[in-house]
Amino acid sequence: MKMKEFMTGMKAGLPVCVGYFSVSFGFGAMAVAQGLTIWQAILISASNLTSAGQFAGLTVIAAGAAMLEMILTQLVINSRYALMSLAIGQRLGPTVGTGKRLIAAFFNTDEVFALGMSRGKELTTTFFVGAGISAAIGWTAGTAMGAVAGSLLPQSVRMALGVMLYGMFIAIVVPQAKEEKTILYSVIFALLFSCLFAWVPGLNQVSGGLAIVICTVAAAALCAVLFPVEEEVAAE
């Protein structure tokens, strides 16, 4: 049964695997261009499993900046994972032990998180890790290919592949918003805040990672005040 659950997770993670492959391809090529070896590029992807965080980390390494700057950059850009981990931890419930949680935590990326949450009450760490391993394989393999092949693919194709992850986010969010009106409001608020941070002078100086955190917290808090969930919905 466990194996079946794991395979279900891996299968669910396949689109993520494909999407990650194209993005990390770019990361691999960029890392080598910045003077890292192929193995160092692969090591970063295999040990971090983040997108924006790794790209920012590369900049820190290339600049030879202080370790503290590396820590701060990662804390800010990846802080959204803390919210996601909190949500996953709540969804799993108190019966799931620390060991399983420590393993699952490593694989918590935006997309794996979304897959996990879309499973509702049925979420298990086995499913989560299965999906996460699919994602990690795509991410690491893409990095390796990118580092080896460099810019073999024409730029026009690489750029088009760059929107694949956004397409997946949309495929996850839109049906939820269509189904549940309060979710739709949270989406609208997040969209509004996000546009403010992108286009309003001053606000657009805030780093991308931090802006995502602020928009998420603001939209979710606003909806929590305006439309508090019923007890049984919240327990899901």
Subset of 184-213 contacting another protein (CB under 8 A): 186-187, 189-191, 193-195, 198-199, 208, 211-212
Comparing CB distances to another protein, the nearer of 7 and 166 is: 166
Pick out residues in 9-38 that bind another protein (CB under 8 A). 14-15, 18-19, 36
Q: How far apart are CA 211 and CA 198, in angstroms?
A: 9
Pick out residues in 210-229 that bind another protein (CB under 8 A). 211-212, 215-216, 219-221, 223-225, 227-229
Give me 38's structure tokens: 């192929």
Rounded least distance, CB 215 to another protein, Å: 4
173 is a contact residue toward another protein (CB under 8 A): yes
233 is a contact residue toward another protein (CB under 8 A): yes
Comparing CB distances to another protein, the nearer of 8 and 176 is: 176
Pick out residues in 133-172 that bind another protein (CB under 8 A). 156-157, 159-172
Rounded least distance, CB 150 to another protein, Å: 20
Comparing CB distances to another protein, the nearer of 4 and 11 is: 11
CB 108 within 8 A of CB 141: no
Comparing CB distances to another protein, the nearer of 101 and 133 is: 101
End-to-end CA distance of the chain: 23
Burial annotation 49-76 (CB, 10 A radius, 16+ → b, else e): bbbbbbbbbbebbeeeeeeeeeeebbeb
Q: Which residues contact 160 (CB under 8 A, 6 or more apart)?
A: none
Q: What is each CA distance from 38 to 35, 52, 53, in whole angstroms?
A: 9, 19, 19
Look-up of token digits 């965080």 = 53
126 is a contact residue toward another protein (CB under 8 A): no
Site mask for another protein (CB under 8 A), range 84-103, x = bound: xxxxxxx--xx-x-x--xx-
Which position among 6, 10, 28, 110 is part of the footprint of another protein (CB under 8 A)?
110
Nearest Cα to Cα of residue 111 among 22, 182, 193:
22
- DSSP characters over 18-29: HHHHHHHHHHHH
Comparing CB distances to another protein, the nearer of 102 and 152 is: 102
59 is a contact residue toward another protein (CB under 8 A): no
